[in-house]
Structure 1
Amino acid sequence: MLNRLIGLCMAVALLAPAPAATAQEGDPQDFVRQSLYVPVRDGTRLAVNIYRPATAGEAADEPLPVIFVSTPYRARYRNADGEIVETGLSERLALSSLLRAGYVIAVADIRGKGASFGTRRGFQDRTEAQDSYDLVEWLARQPFSTGSVGMIGCSYLGGTTFQTATTAPPSLKAVFIGASELDKYEFVRRGGITAQFNTRPDEPAEVDLASIPVDADADGTLLRQAVAEHAGNTPMGPLWYGMPNRDSVSEYTGNAFWEEVAVYRYLDAIREAGIATYFWGNWHDEPTGQVILGAANLGGKFLAGPGDHCVPPPGFDFAGEVTRYFDHHLKGVANGIDREPRATYWVEGLDGEGRYVQSDELPGVQSRPVPWFLSDTADATGSSLAAAPGAAGRDDFTVDYDLPPAEYFAFWPRPMVEHGLGYTSAPLDASMTLIGSPVAHLTVTASDPDANLFVYLDQINAEGEAEVIAFGRLKLTHRKLSQAPYETLGLPWHSGLSEDMQTLAPSEEAPVSIALTPVSRVVPAGARLRFTVAGADPRQRNLQDTRIDPAPQITVLRGGRDASRIELPLAR
């Protein structure tokens, strides 16, 4: 039962990358490993695993640059099948390739997780960031190190990488950041609504107890002592649920915690330190919009593949790209990567199936917004999503909370047209290339001021099969538009500040603007587009706790002066 519980917890671990490599995948003649506790500035001992390139079991004599990874998912542990799993040997982050390419790999458990001591005050707080600063500088001082350190990570590991960069360690030269956010409030509570990310239950102590003790802790005494301290960790879901506004003060941390963990507040520190940045996301993954904004604000390189969360982009030499990037910035290799186009990204459906393109511009920067209007179905085509506004009208629906359950860890929504209002175009006469974020501009009324809006853009093929290609959400009280403290590439931004909350009278007609997740695809001729408006999404983990009784009635005004529409990012 215990092994089954541990396996389940790891399967649903929030924002975790795919499983790391098992020890059997690494040839012990190719590297030597050591693990030890390293104290950080407040004396907390963090577990660090170090992998050094070796020949015939002997570590390389010459100093080498170091690639550092900081994880909450256990650097080294025994899985339910009894195998030792090692993050440092994983190829999902190209770590095994980097090891073979002449880098020392170091992986640390963050405080309060894995084999490390301490308690986690908050999710990626300044304490975690300062811990990684201390470890970066410790690694740079070791005899096996040249003094140059790089970091790589995706999801939470991308977040620890990004947060470490904000502390500007002198020895940190380059970072490769995957699926992580510039603005944590905008990501976790996008539009004021918590959805899939960051709200799952915390793992029981047995998960961390499956960690492999450090070398000097043969009987696991120190491991058990460390895990006992984890009982004081701040629970992640309640932390996020308890801060509805950007300036909310957390009962757990005693401060406006969203601001503490907002990377955008520390951008100048990253720039002034001269840390090179590379941002990576995938189109079938909600964080990618934030990844684009990271690159927009820091000028770094950008990569997007067609896959899901933290999946190495198929059909692309990911390990080769990562290695070339660090070779240039940590070893000084003149391999030309700095002269190549800054953005490489997949365009679904391009040339029939899809392919990668390169550009000096980030995706969407050169696109132009083309409005498609919500209308009735009175025209000859029967379409209700059209290039011109129709007659004025109103469409009503009652929010449906009795939704089919989503997968526990559903990163992407399913079509929701049966649970709200749907507006469908006629079949396209010609293909349409969409690059960037669609933006919905609606005029609505609601019977309850706390009602939520969820919007979806679907592509429907000639056989009638539909897939969601972009989506967004907004709590109506958060609808006021504000000026963002960072570059948003022209997308609407809602501050989430308490002073900007707006109530909604039952008959009040309110304009709302919602940026959807970015798309990169060619919609072929003959396909149709569908825009859906709903009031709930099954991916909300706390949906039944937050449902409103009676369920709100929402009205969407269309046509005439209230021409509700979705602006599609048409590539030039």
Structure 2
Amino acid sequence: MIRKRKYVKKQFGKEQIEVIFDPHQVYPKEQHPGVKRETVFLKKGSRITKESKPLACDMILEKDLPVELRDGTVIFTDVIRPAGKEAVPAVVAYSPYGKHVHSLHLPWGVPDGALSGLQKQEGPDPGFWVPAGYAVVQPDARGTYYSGGDNVSFGTAEALDGYDIIEWAAKQPWCSGKVGMSGNSYLAVAQFLTASVRPPHLAAIAPWEGFNDVYRQTSMCGGIPNFGFQQRIDREKEGFTYYENMAAMSEKYPLMNAYWEDKRIRLEDITVPAYIVGSYISKFHTYGTLEAFERIGSSAKWLRIHNTHEWSDLYEYQEDLKLFFDCYLKSIDNKWIKTPPVRLSVLNPGGKDIVNRPEEKFPLPDTEYKKIYLDNEKHCLTEEKPVSETKQGYRSDNRKDQLVFSMTMDATTETTGYFAAHLWVETESAHDLDLFVYVLKADAHDNLMPPVVYGAPFSGFEGSPQYTPCGRLRASLRETDAELSTESKPYLTFRHTEKLVPGRPVRVDIPLWPVGMIYEKGQKMQCIISGYEINKEEWPDLEPAASVNRGKAFIYTGGDKASYLTVPWVPGRKS
């Protein structure tokens, strides 16, 4: 029997919205042997596979424990815990990525033999945490594998499932009653979601690189559909029911509505201690992670911005995270609270990055937000507003055509924080326009010097250049919220479409991903404007969304239509 797509009407606040669900691909039964509840004794010194790290203590693996959620749906979880009888804190790794999938090769960039092979994809390694006196809880999310119900993503329903799992874990005889959460990417978003609904026994979270607003930061960033990202996540979900097809929802509901608002996490409601980790090199995670640190309501919160890749960092900093969890899940006075609130990396391609520089806040409180103007006549960036109004064109539908504006640094300079582009744009004949804006580092000869990340998908052995900071916007969705917007962080509503009139210039305000970057004397800051992404496709095996670009587009500079960048200039940091 072929299962067809189904449409389910769901209530989001005062709006009833039709949600699209597709059937999971059905996999051979030998890949999914079914529910098999059993308790397995794992002996100290044994290996899960010949490539994995030997276990440092005796462990108990309880497989396929049923957890009943508030609506009666039953999901299944594995628990890996110490073999003794002492009650220990639990660390929950919540995601739709199978609890039985313990690949040693998915977290690229992690050395062979570094992990036990018991860890869930992008989750904490029980081989580290169980010997440290913790139990690791690895549920299969609703609607994945043999867990019941249809799978939903990133909204209130998933937050409440997280709540129920936390409270279930806290009541188990092996648990001390203190529960934390850990993991990166989807597992980080799940932590923000769950913490926002305040389960009583959730004592701390440690989200490594996530997001907090699905529409603005992933699926419809800048109002431009990003089907590939969501399709890639959905490919990782397996099961025998249905999954919420967010790529299809992006097509059905391209504007912000109650469905997308439900996937915007109420960060101010998060009050538990939080150790948040981010970087500048993820176009899916950077903005949402750093914004989450700013906005969560926790009085005890820490931020560390690294300069590598999230997977390798997750396992490299386990001892650091243990200090945090020992403090809040075991009440150990280990001086964690004296850890600097912010530990900052600043990138310096071609030189030496700064790593773990202590700071009190982020964004840095002494940041000077400079207006750096674009100048068409001199093809440059300048602190002086050009007097004459001019316009310069490029083919918006040509991937290779772009406008480039440069500024040579006369001293070593640091730019750390949020950037924004404020542009006057016009089309020759089209009624819409996709804009991609980059602020990049180049050498004295205009050769780009992007940071290179290793271990990321499709990066290969030579690593992948990351062109950052970057921002994007579909010009017809340019409306901003005046109360929520600032010069460095324009806030776009995405609620109304206002098509362009050919030949009539309009102003657009585009938030760019934050970055920390050092420019040495003689190096250049470049602004590149294009109709497409300039970096290679993140998911080369998936079809990108269609562009609205047609024909020639123009950028105005100077006079009453002065286009400019807002750049976070950081004084007093010379090294």
2: CA distance, partners of 1:148 / 1:533: 50
Q: Is the 8 A contact 1:304 1:313 kept in 2?
A: no
Quote the residue 2:225 is aligned against. 194
Deviation at 1:193, TM superposition (A): 1.5
Q: Is the 8 A contact 1:373 1:566 kept in 2?
A: yes
Matched, 1:559 2:561: no
Pair 1:452–1:556, CA change in 2 (3 A): same
Deviation at 1:277, TM superposition (A): 1.8
Pair 1:150–1:483, CA change in 2 (3 A): farther
SS of corresponding position for 1:518: strand
Structure 2 counterparts to residues 295-314 of structure 1, below 5 A: 295-298=293-296, 299=298, 300-312=301-313
Matched, 1:47 2:82: no
Pair 1:517–1:328, CA change in 2 (3 A): same
SS of corresponding position for 1:546: coil
Give CA deviations for 1:242-273 in whole Å, capped at 9, x if unaligned.
Answer: 321111xxxxxxxx211112112x633x33xx
2: CA distance, partners of 1:202 / 1:180: 14
Quote the residue 1:515 is aligned against. 511
Pair 1:197–1:151, CA change in 2 (3 A): farther
Q: Is the 8 A contact 2:488 2:511 kept in 1?
A: no
Pair 1:156–1:240, CA change in 2 (3 A): farther
User: When you count helix as a share of all residues, which structure comes out higher?
Assistant: 1
1: CA distance, partners of 2:104 / 2:517: 40
Structure 2 counterpart of 1:326, one-letter code: F
Structure 2 counterpart of 1:386, one-letter code: T
2: CA distance, partners of 1:352 / 1:540: 27
Q: Is the 8 A contact 2:122 2:311 kept in 1?
A: no
Pair 1:571–1:80, CA change in 2 (3 A): closer
Matched, 1:60 2:84: yes
Q: Is the 8 A contact 1:372 1:565 kept in 2?
A: yes
Pair 1:544–1:349, CA change in 2 (3 A): closer
Pair 1:99–1:109, CA change in 2 (3 A): same
1: CA distance, partners of 2:486 / 2:312: 26
Pair 1:343–1:438, CA change in 2 (3 A): same
Q: Is the 8 A contact 1:87 1:107 kept in 2?
A: no
Structure 2 counterparts to residues 139-288 of structure 1, below 5 A: 139-188=169-218, 189-195=220-226, 198-200=229-231, 208=238, 227-229=239-241, 232-247=242-257, 256-264=258-266, 267-268=268-269, 270-271=270-271, 275-286=272-283, 287-288=285-286
Structure 2 counterparts to residues 53-452 of structure 1, below 5 A: 53=82, 59-77=83-101, 86=117, 88=119, 93=124, 95-120=126-151, 122-188=152-218, 189-195=220-226, 198-200=229-231, 208=238, 227-229=239-241, 232-247=242-257, 256-264=258-266, 267-268=268-269, 270-271=270-271, 275-286=272-283, 287-298=285-296, 299=298, 300-312=301-313, 318-349=317-348, 352-376=352-376, 378=378, 384-390=380-386, 391-400=388-397, 403=399, 418-425=400-407, 427-446=408-427, 447-452=429-434
Deviation at 1:571, TM superposition (A): 0.6
Structure 2 counterpart of 1:343, one-letter code: V
Matched, 1:503 2:502: no
SS of corresponding position for 1:244: coil
Q: Is the 8 A contact 2:79 2:136 kept in 1?
A: yes
RMSD over aligned CA atoms reads: 3.2
Q: Is the 8 A contact 1:445 1:506 kept in 2?
A: yes
Query: How does the TM-score come out when normalised to structure 1?
Result: 0.78
1: CA distance, partners of 2:486 / 2:426: 28
Pair 1:512–1:184, CA change in 2 (3 A): same
2: CA distance, partners of 1:513 / 1:152: 35
Deviation at 1:371, TM superposition (A): 2.1
Moved more, 501-510 or 170-179: 501-510
Quote the residue 2:522 is aligned against. 526
Deviation at 1:484, TM superposition (A): 6.2
1: CA distance, partners of 2:121 / 2:368: 41
1: CA distance, partners of 2:125 / 2:519: 33
Deviation at 1:128, TM superposition (A): 2.0
Give CA deviations for 1:227-246 in whole Å, capped at 9, x if unaligned.
Answer: 322xx222232123332111
1: CA distance, partners of 2:483 / 2:130: 41
2: CA distance, partners of 1:461 / 1:200: 37
Moved more, 60-69 or 392-401: 392-401
Give CA deviations for 1:183-219 in whole Å, capped at 9, x if unaligned.
Answer: 22221222212337633256569x74xxxxxxxxxxx
2: CA distance, partners of 1:236 / 1:153: 22
Quote the residue 1:569 is aligned against. 568
Structure 2 counterpart of 1:191, one-letter code: G
Give CA deviations for 1:404-431 in whole Å, capped at 9, x if unaligned.
Answer: xxxxxxxxxxxxxx43111122x32211
Q: Is the 8 A contact 1:198 1:236 kept in 2?
A: no
Deviation at 1:517, TM superposition (A): 0.7
For structure 1, the residue ranges without an aligned partner over 5 or more in a row are: 8-20, 54-58, 209-226, 248-255, 404-417
Among 26, 46, 53, the alignment partner of 1:25 is 53
SS of corresponding position for 2:128: helix
Pair 1:91–1:186, CA change in 2 (3 A): closer
Pair 1:74–1:138, CA change in 2 (3 A): same
Give CA deviations for 1:47-102 in whole Å, capped at 9, x if unaligned.
Answer: 2111112xxxxx12111111111121111137699x99955378964653322211
SS of corresponding position for 1:70: coil
Pair 1:484–1:35, CA change in 2 (3 A): farther
Q: Is the 8 A contact 1:536 1:543 kept in 2?
A: no
2: CA distance, partners of 1:101 / 1:472: 42
SS of corresponding position for 2:278: strand
For structure 2, the residue ranges without an aligned partner over 5 or more in a row are: 1-25, 32-46, 106-112, 451-466
Quote the residue 2:455 is aligned against. none
Deviation at 1:560, TM superposition (A): 2.1
